[in-house]
Amino acid sequence: MKGGTHPKPAPPKWATRFLRWFCSDHLAEAVLGDLEELYERRVEKLGKRSADLLFVANVIQFLQPFAFRKRNYRSTLNQRDMFQNYFKIAWRTMSRQKMYAGITIGGFALGLATCLVIFLFIRQELSYDQQYADGDRIFRLYNEYKGPKGDRWVNIPPPVAGILRTDFPEVEKAGRLMPGSLGFGTKGLFRREDAVENNFEEGFGYADPDLLEILEIPMVYGTTSTALDKPNTIVLSKRKADQYFPNEDPRGKSIILNDDKSRLFTIGGVMKDMPANTHFQYDFLITLTGQEFWSGEQSSWCCWNYNVYVKLRSGANPLALEQKMTVLRDTHFIKYLEEQGDQSAADVKKNHLFRLQPVGDIYLKSNGIYDDMRHGDIRYIWLFGGVATFILLLACINFINLSTAKSANRAKEVGLRKTAGSVRGYLIAQFLTESVFYSLVSFAIALFMVWATLPFFNTLAGKSLTIPWLSWWFFPSLVVAMLFIGVVAGLYPSFYLSAFKPIDVLKGIVSRGSKSSGLRSAMVVFQFTTSIILIIGTLVIYRQMNYLLTTKTGFDKEQVVILYGTHTLNNQQLTFRDELLGLADVQHVSISSYLPVDGGSREGYGFWRKGREKADLPITSQKWRIDVDYISTMKMRIVEGRDFNRELASDSQAAVVNQAFVKEFGLKKPVGEQITNGPQTFTIIGVVEDFNFESMKEKIRPLSLVIEGGGNSVMTVRVKSKDMQATLGSLTKAWNKFMPHQPFRYGFLDESYARMYDDVQRMGRIFAGFATLAIIVACLGLFALSAFMVEQRSKEISIRLVLGATTQGIFRLLTQNFVKLVFVSIVIATPLAWYLMRTWLADYTYKIPITWDVFVLAGAMSIFIALSTVSYQSIRAALANPAKNLRSE
């Protein structure tokens, strides 16, 4: 072992520092000296650990009033007076320069108000499905197909939930949801057993009893474990229970669905109304206990109609469970396909997976998962968060630019204060106090602006945002944000202004303002780069939305009235159709299961060419049940073959397919080909031109149209009318003739089509609004900066005018630098905007091209905005009387 000296034991440093902090200076040294001597003796006798503990105990014993450091009340008083003086100076500076103060505070307030609204929007979006106590253990199943199509969807076969409960110990509970009834979506007709008139309701589905417990749905009457445990029971939300059974506990009462008097549903419980911030929006849940929609349906692997939710046991690993669920696929689904002789078994085994989606991700992170639900989009959170950040930066840049531009005005003040003995730290504190003062006033105005405009924003965005005045965190967060933004905005101007040297001020060096001009130019470029990107984004979004709503869809959606729930007419449905055809304004009437708009049923099947069932993989196609008048009513175009014919009995076994179907099957001569989905075989008699029946974000998929009755609930009426109200009156009269006690429900096909894009349109309008506000904030700063530059150069302009300069020359002199900066911004913004918008459009299968005229228009708009902003000050300076500015010379 090498020789050396061991370090001398020392008492805990934190205890020493603590004693020096609270103890008076004249006592601290003496006390520490005595304690350290005592500490050394204790180390030798008791060891270091015991000596440390006793040293800390002695320090604590010395916490006596006589030993405390005396506060310098005079110093505190001086500091208070100093900050009061700083606020007085800030107020006087603001009062003297009202225009600059107004622009600074106005820009700040506008930017802060926008950020607050975006914050409230983001806060609500992120709050979705966060109410679950065990949210980290609740998941929704979905399917992922890893082949070239890359599909993801939530529909699961009926037996899966039961197998998960029994064969997978990681699963504590599993429950199914069927959104609505097959063929009618999540809409239905409800009434009390003793009522006559039905009520049209949205938001109903079939659910397993376990689903109430998995999703922790609170109950008003009944319990989650028993409310749906018996066959033919139903659970209502509180508001619907109050509507149908006011002022009573409705348990045990009966309700009728879709006018089917042969089957009563007994109310087993009442759940609390669903909060607005959850994806699970249901008012009626009918039990799946004892429910079977057709013989063998509950054990079938051929019908994928259910959503499955699971709650894992504490400590279970969802990723490990996903890997384990391949056994579920291989043992059950693949086995079923092989028994059917389905050639897709090997392909499914290779590419299909069951996945778990956390319940907290369903609302914001389901882009690309087919589930027929309305969702938010996490990309909009990032988008609007970025817009808020940029708007706040623009407001801060305005403050920095104006503060540094006005540096000459503050230079004498700084010089005098330094000459009088002020140090740089106090000057920095003074200017930061001014910045925080501006931030305080701006926050107060911004809060008022948010309060006043929030109702308008809620209407625009389809939201119900409120200011959380009573939340404990709200005002403390505002104070922290106000101080932070005030300090950030004032940091550079404070250091810049406090760095002036008295000798430079006296020499007039500062008044030239050259040191900060480069930074100001860079900031102007940043502002206009941001503004141009937002202008380009707004133009592209507007054009894409216009394209979606006006482009050729493959059918004529104008002058088409949709009548809902006509299946309740039962055997009078065809008679009612004939009644409508007798009306003068009615051209065509059709009855079908589905329309190419949001809100109907979709039936997907695997199809083969007849005779190739054992040799080929199936092609997935939707199958719509229609009548012979459907294609003519929708004005679809037959491109090959013929339409259905009422006179030909063989057409009951015929199909008209779309072009995507023909392409997917590779049929060169489709007319006459036979196709089968297993139990049914159809002969193709015609090919209809492709039309969009899903969102235009998706490509057109294979579709087969077949003549089938039974349960078709949608009647489509094409009219030719100049007075739509009179036509609706005739339709209502005809309905009341057949169903006097049932509500007449209708809609318009063009409006239903537009509603498919409601969310995107709303987001587009919001984005355009925020982009406009950002441009206004940037223009406010540019206006103030140009005004100050004109003021700085007023004597130069006057001399030029005296020497014969023209108004046009002065205007060009004052604006050319700003125009150059805008051109630099255009060069920077163009590739950035092109990349961002190309990324946004990538989600759409059918989209506009980003053409050069968008960038030209955005550039022209930005130059026009810049010139319009600085022109007033430039023309005013060019037309001013030179003698007025030269009088002091």
Alpha helices, DSSP H, located in 706-843: 724-738, 749-755, 758-792, 794-802, 807-841
What are the pLDDT digits (tens) for 143-164?
988 765 567 888 899 999 999 9
Q: Is the pLDDT of residue 888 over 60?
A: no
Task: Give the pairing type, strands 638-641 and 619-626.
Answer: unpaired
Mean pLDDT, range 43-70, rounded to an integer: 79
Task: Give the pairing type, strands 619-626 and 703-707.
Answer: parallel
Confidence tier at 183 by pLDDT (50, 70, 90): very low
Q: Is the pLDDT of residue 397 over 90?
A: no
* Residue 425 to residue 423: CA distance in whole angstroms: 6
Give the range among 140-149, 269-278, 599-608 with minimum mean pLDDT: 599-608
The percentage of the chain sitting over the pLDDT mark of 90, rounded to a whole number, equals 34
* Residue 270 to residue 285: CA distance in whole angstroms: 10
Residue 104's closest CA among 788, 767, 768, 771? 788
Q: Is the pLDDT of residue 509 over 70?
A: no
Mean pLDDT, range 501-525, rounded to an integer: 66
Q: Is the pLDDT of residue 216 over 60?
A: yes
Buried b (16+ CB within 10 A) or exposed e, 726-749: ebbebbeebbeeebeebebeebbb
Residues 6+ apart with CB under 8 A from 352: 143, 144, 145, 146, 329, 333
Give the 3-state secondary structure of residue 590: strand
What are the pLDDT digits (tens) for 697-731?
677 889 999 998 666 778 999 999 888 999 999 99
**Which amino acid does the sequence have at 888?**
S
180: left (phi over 0), alpha (psi -120 to 50) or beta: left
CA torsion sign for 543, 549, 550, 555 is positive
Mean pLDDT, range 209-222, rounded to an integer: 95
pLDDT of residue 688: 95
Segment holding 549, helix H or strand E: helix 517-550
Instruction: Using alpha carbons, list the distances in angstroms from residue 206 to 188, 306, 797.
Output: 12, 9, 79
Confidence tier at 313 by pLDDT (50, 70, 90): very high
Q: Is the pLDDT of residue 575 over 90?
A: yes
* Residue 850 to residue 840: CA distance in whole angstroms: 11
* Residue 657 to residue 671: CA distance in whole angstroms: 10
Q: When comparing pLDDT for 692 and 364, which is higher?
A: 364
Chain center to CA of 833: 21
* Residue 887 to residue 889: CA distance in whole angstroms: 6
Mean pLDDT, range 264-269, rounded to an integer: 95
Mean pLDDT, range 808-819, rounded to an integer: 81
Q: Is the pLDDT of residue 648 over 80?
A: yes
What are the pLDDT digits (tens) for 457-469?
998 888 889 999 8
What are the pLDDT digits (tens) for 666-703?
898 999 999 988 778 999 999 999 988 876 667 788 99
* Residue 565 to residue 494: CA distance in whole angstroms: 70
Q: Is the pLDDT of residue 391 over 60?
A: yes
Mean pLDDT, range 377-394, rounded to an integer: 87
247: left (phi over 0), alpha (psi -120 to 50) or beta: left
Q: Are 303 and 297 in contact (CB under 8 A)?
A: yes
**Which amino acid does the sequence have at 619?**
I
Residue 528's closest CA among 824, 787, 837? 824
Q: Are 269 and 219 in contact (CB under 8 A)?
A: yes
pTM of the model: 0.78
Q: Is the pLDDT of residue 879 over 50?
A: yes
Q: Is the pLDDT of residue 213 over 90?
A: yes
Residue 676, both tokens: 């089968």
pLDDT of residue 186: 63
Mean pLDDT, range 655-665, rounded to an integer: 93
Q: Are 673 and 641 in contact (CB under 8 A)?
A: no
Q: Are 228 and 209 in contact (CB under 8 A)?
A: yes
pLDDT of residue 373: 79
Q: Is the pLDDT of residue 75 over 60?
A: no
The percentage of the chain sitting over the pLDDT mark of 70, rounded to a whole number, equals 89
pLDDT of residue 833: 93
pLDDT of residue 883: 67
* Residue 554 to residue 701: CA distance in whole angstroms: 13
Give the 3-state secondary structure of residue 529: helix
Instruction: Using alpha carbons, list the distances in angstroms from residue 761 to 276, 503, 520, 543, 544.
Output: 21, 61, 37, 11, 10
DSSP 742: S
Strand stretches in 720-787, DSSP E: 746-748
Q: Is the pLDDT of residue 5 over 70?
A: no
**For the residues of 126-142, what is the DSSP string, one character each?**
HTTT---TTGGGEEEEE
* Residue 433 to residue 82: CA distance in whole angstroms: 11
Mean pLDDT, range 763-778, rounded to an integer: 85
- Alpha-carbon torsion, ordered 553, 557, 563, 569, to 10 deg: -60
